[in-house]
Amino acid sequence: MIDYHRILERYRPTEDEERKLRRISRSIVQRINGICASRGLRAEAVIVGSYAKGTNLRDGDLDIFIAFDRDYPEDLVNTEGLRIGHAVLPEGREKYAEHPYVSGEVEGIKIDVVPCYKMRFGEKKISAVDRTLLHTEYVNQHLDDRGRDEVRLLKIFMKSIGVYGAEAKTFGFSGYLCELLVIRFGSFNDVIGYFSRAKGRVIIDEDDRFQDPMVLIDPVDPDRNVASPVGLESLSRMKIASKLFRSSPDERFFQIDHEKKNVQYHDRGTCITIYSLPRPDLTDDVIYPQVYRFRSVLQKIMEAHEIRVISSEIDVSDRIYVLVETATCAEDRIHVHTGPPVDTDNAVDFINSWKGRERSRGPYIVADRLYVDVFTAQRSIEDIVRQEIFNYSIGKNLDRFRKAMEITRFREGMDKMPILDKFFGADLFKL
Amino acid sequence: MIDYHRILERYRPTEDEERKLRRISRSIVQRINGICASRGLRAEAVIVGSYAKGTNLRDGDLDIFIAFDRDYPEDLVNTEGLRIGHAVLPEGREKYAEHPYVSGEVEGIKIDVVPCYKMRFGEKKISAVDRTLLHTEYVNQHLDDRGRDEVRLLKIFMKSIGVYGAEAKTFGFSGYLCELLVIRFGSFNDVIGYFSRAKGRVIIDEDDRFQDPMVLIDPVDPDRNVASPVGLESLSRMKIASKLFRSSPDERFFQIDHEKKNVQYHDRGTCITIYSLPRPDLTDDVIYPQVYRFRSVLQKIMEAHEIRVISSEIDVSDRIYVLVETATCAEDRIHVHTGPPVDTDNAVDFINSWKGRERSRGPYIVADRLYVDVFTAQRSIEDIVRQEIFNYSIGKNLDRFRKAMEITRFREGMDKMPILDKFFGADLFKL
């Protein structure tokens, strides 16, 4: 039997932390409201996020929105919002999601101050963050204290198996999605039961507009799939973890900080190369899609040279890393060069163009096409990638780093690297 | 300018040969008719084939059919046909196409004596060879002496580029198809012009029943595609040769016995293995389809072990040979072992079954599936094929030879082999 009570005790905020959050959030709300009043702004501070919904875990952050009356122009909301944010978070930095906002820290607690418009159920949202106000209301109307702890258990479980978070880094489950799942199914155990039995796409609400792996419609916005960030692999991970947990329940599924296993690297008789780029000062949500593109470009280059790709891994830490494992470390000495179909007008030109040129074999016919086997320079994988990376765009922000690309070839006994830990450590038994 | 007259002089039967063919064929016809009369059989000898149509090349053979009245039972036709065949060809051997027949030699000329039923235009054929009688009639009605020489030129051209012959060895153009092409288009040059411009499938007669690369309906049998044996590669070869010949006409296209080029073997930095089996005493038409199957089984085995196949070649001479060229000579040390999708009932069993077992990595998830990376024995290609060939059928007549399979790995400087000549000599410049 799992001692859920003990797990909650470990990860729920302590009473001290609760008092501190209450004190700080009230103080910021008061200061924001004071500024609004003194400047004659029809706006008010609202606490949102998991703290406002009572589903927060230990060491969480605070989200405070400044909700403006709906008739203010967007410019003013942005300008005044930032000004108030800087006033209450003097060390804060401006960040940008769909809107600019201010992010800072007070007594070690991370705080975001975000401007938005007031919004009631059924009203059209003006800015993308407005519906967050309604999420807070909706969850508080539908969850009691027991439900809040069920959400906490689900979040702990998801963090532990690595699927918590809707960002591009994880492609996982947002906090709000966890809350809606508990509201929908009743308890942590019911949610796990549901995922352990789920087959294929997880369609909690039928809606043909959404083709994502998982669909759950936002009760406060019928045009939005709350589960749209959930990627196929996170969903698969959630399914298999739910199955494993039900087949043998274990407290390891509630261990957020897994002790780092000492991963051993070994020779797989393959060619493992690691490509790294400087990491630009941008949010994960901007960087990750480009890192995936970088990986797929590397795979494409190798496949174009008929170097068989076995597997790959990515890591974003001090720099951007992509690992590609291939069967061999160089292109073949022979390349089968594909010519035109025999019945095209340039078939004869193709044959004549090879007259007297060095080649291994051909021109010859296979099916309806001409081919010639040519000798290649038999370049190493590193040389090929260095030359061809410039023929591909790997994304707006990463393209300029292509010339600064560093390449490391794995060999047994080399120093530890986080990406190699991820690669060699891939192991569902940690679940 | 090509001196067509000289080419014809070289390959048309000499007057001596014509006289000899006339003498021998008449003598056999008389003897057959004499036997039939003495045995009271309503049957008569008919000379068919290219000699009967006047489209024969030098050193050809003779085809003599014994045409029985249509009311005889098939058994009698077969028995009496063979008996007569043996009587006129005392050294002859029985062969079998759809029917049994007798094949022998007289004064160095190969002769087939084949029983069949009499048949007139529009009558239903009883045995598959019956329509041959009508082919002879049809061609003789539609070709004059000039046309006969145009057919000879076309045959010489096709022999020279290696596409003459409807057997499974060549998948090329039959003599009758050559005759029909000249009848249809008028001359050798018109046929070449047609093929040099042809795109995609060559549909001379529209007929949805036939999906072969080339379609030309038999004028004496509307249910038959005379071009059905023509394979895609022979057709491609005919197209490109026609294009090349028109772009620069050359007598090399009429050189039936190409002087054997001294093909040089060289190291392609690849792994070339040659698999050979004893050759059973069967006709090419029976053997070749099984040899192609043998090749595709070998390719399948290698691909199943993720050994990249680059090219292949076959040769049937003293034995059956299949050459397969691969990028490497052994399987990779790592095999990515595919498990079940995460949402199947045995996903948990799969994970549990790997607990504590030796592996390189995993179980892990990619998309919606489980995988484990395992170490292989890293067997050589030869060991893999020797073990796995028994899991595949390579055809009724070849299966029993699998244990007698011999494997040779190519290395520079090794003795000449016809299959290596074919492989390294693949070169359209010989056209």
Structure confidence at residue A212 as a pLDDT band (50, 70, 90): very high
Q: Which residues of A touch B426 (CB under 8 A)?
A: 361-362, 364
Q: Is the pLDDT of residue B431 over 70?
A: no
B265 interaction partners in chain A (CB closer than 8 Å): none
Residues of A (321-340) whose Cβ lies below 8 Å from B? 327-328, 332-334, 336
User: For the domain B12-133, what is the CATH code?
Assistant: 3.30.460.10
Q: What is the mean pLDDT of residues A398-426?
A: 95
| Planar angle of CA A246, A228, A58, nearest 5 degrees | 60
Min distance A270 CA to chain B CA atoms (Å) = 7
Q: Is B250 helix (H, G, I), strand (E, B) or coil?
A: coil
Confidence of residue B258 (pLDDT cuts 50, 70, 90): low
Which residue in chain B is spatially nearest to A420 when comparing CA positions?
B361
Q: Tell me: the pLDDT tens digits for B294-349?
A: 999 999 999 999 999 999 999 999 999 999 999 999 999 999 999 999 999 899 99
Indicate yes or no: CB of A427 within 8 angstroms of CB of B363.
Answer: yes
Pairs of CB atoms within 8 A across A/B: 142
Which residues of chain A neighbour B239 with C-beta distances below 8 Å?
A: 342-343
> Per-residue pLDDT tens for B59-87?
999 999 999 999 999 999 999 999 999 99
Residue B282 has pLDDT above 90, yes or no: no
pLDDT tens readout for residues A156-202: 999 999 999 998 888 999 999 999 999 999 999 999 999 999 999 99
Residue of B nearest to A357 (CA): B429
- Which of B163, B240, B242, B380 would you mutate first to test chain A, the one with the most A CBs within 10 A? B240
Stretch B153-157: mean pLDDT: 98
Confidence of residue A284 (pLDDT cuts 50, 70, 90): confident
Burial B149-182, CB ≥16 within 10 A → b, else e: bbbbbbbbbbbbbbbbbbebebbbbbbbbbbbbb
Q: What is the pLDDT of residue B356?
A: 87
Chain B residues closer than 8 Å to A348 by CB? 240, 243-244, 247
Contacts of residue A343 in chain B, CB cutoff 8 Å?
198-200, 236, 239
- Residue A129 pLDDT grade (very low, low, confident, very high; cuts 50, 70, 90): confident
pLDDT given at position B75: 93
A356 pLDDT higher than 90: no
Local confidence band at A1 (pLDDT 50, 70, 90 cut-offs): confident
Q: Which residue has the higher pLDDT, B430 or B109?
A: B109
> Which superfamily is assigned to A13-139 in CATH?
Beta Polymerase, domain 2 (3.30.460.10)
pLDDT of residue A121: 82
Indicate if the pLDDT at residue A107 is higher than 90.
yes
The whole-number pLDDT of residue A176 equals 97
The mean of the pLDDT values for chain B is: 94
Which of A269, A332, A364 lies nearest to residue B327, judging by beta carbons?
A332
The pLDDT of residue B260 is above 80:
no
A424 to chain B: nearest residue by CA? B361
Quick check: B320 and B276 in contact, CB under 8 A?
yes
pLDDT in tens, B201-256: 999 999 999 999 999 999 999 999 999 999 999 999 999 999 999 999 999 999 98
Residue A296, pLDDT above cutoff 80: yes
CB distance A342–B244 less than 8 Å?
no
Q: Which of A114-123, A229-238, A239-248, A313-322 bottoms out in mean pLDDT, i.e. has the lowest?
A: A114-123
Of B236, B342, B367, nearest to A239 by CB-CB distance is: B342
Q: What is the pLDDT of residue B25?
A: 97
Check B428 against A232: CB less than 8 A apart. Answer: no
Taking the CA of residue B170 and the nearest CA in chain A, the distance in Å comes to 14
DSSP annotation of A403 reads G
Within 8 A by CB and 6+ apart from A152, the residues are A8, A11, A12, A55, A57
What's the pLDDT score for residue B261?
Answer: 73
- Averaged over B29-33, what is the pLDDT? 97
Domains of chain A, by residue range, sit at 13-139, 145-254, 271-331+378-430, 334-375
Residue B23 structure tokens: 């003498």
Cα–Cα dist A131/A153, whole Å = 25
Q: How far is A298 from chain B (nearest CA, A)?
A: 18
A369 touches chain B (CB under 8 A): yes
Torsion of CA A229, A235, A237, A239, to 10 degrees: 150
B348 in contact with chain A, both atoms CB, cutoff 8 A: yes
For A105-134, b/e burial (b = at least 16 CB within 10 A) is ebeebebbbbbbbbbeeeeebbbebbbbbb
Question: Which B residues, 174 through 233, put their C-beta within 8 Å of a C-beta on chain A?
Answer: 198-200, 232-233
Q: Which of residues 40-59 of A touch B (CB under 8 A)?
A: none
Residue A431 — pLDDT band, cuts 50, 70, 90? low
Confidence of residue B284 (pLDDT cuts 50, 70, 90): confident
Q: What is the pLDDT of residue B259?
A: 65
Domain formed by B271-331+378-430, architecture: 2-Layer Sandwich (3.30)
SS3 A374: strand
- The pLDDT score that the predictor gives to residue A127 is 80
**Pick from B76, B65, B55, B73: which is nearest to B12 by CA?**
B55
Q: What is the pLDDT of residues A10-25, one digit of tens each?
A: 999 999 999 999 999 9
pLDDT at A237: 96
First to last CA, chain B: 17
Give the confidence band of B130 by pLDDT, cuts at 50, 70, 90: confident
Give me the phi and psi of A415, to 5 degrees please: -65, 155
Per-residue pLDDT, averaged over B36-40, amounts to 95
- Alpha carbon of A379 to those of A21, A333, A385: distances in Å? 60, 9, 10
pLDDT at A99: 80
Structural tokens at position A160: 């532990």
CATH number assigned to the domain with residue range B145-254, chosen from the 4 options 3.30.70.141, 1.10.3720.10, 1.10.1410.30, 1.10.10.10: 1.10.1410.30
Binned at pLDDT 50, 70 and 90, residue B190 comes out as very high
Give the pLDDT band (50/70/90) at residue A258.
Answer: low
Residue B97's pLDDT is 73
Q: Where are the alpha helices (DSSP H) in B305-380?
A: 347-353
Q: What percent of chain A has pLDDT over 90?
A: 88
Say which of B236, B367, B378 has its CB closest to residue A236: B367
Asked whether the predicted pLDDT for residue A259 surpasses 80, the reply is: no
Tokens found for residue B45 = 């000898």
Residue B386 clears pLDDT 70, i.e. is over it? yes
**Angle CA A325–A331–A332, to nearest 5:** 125
Average pLDDT score over residue span A328-333 = 95
* Smallest Cα distance from B356 to chain A, Å: 10
User: Which chain B residue has its CA at the smallest distance from A340's CA?
Assistant: B240
Tell me which residue in B236, B311, B327 faces A342 most closely, judged by beta carbons: B236
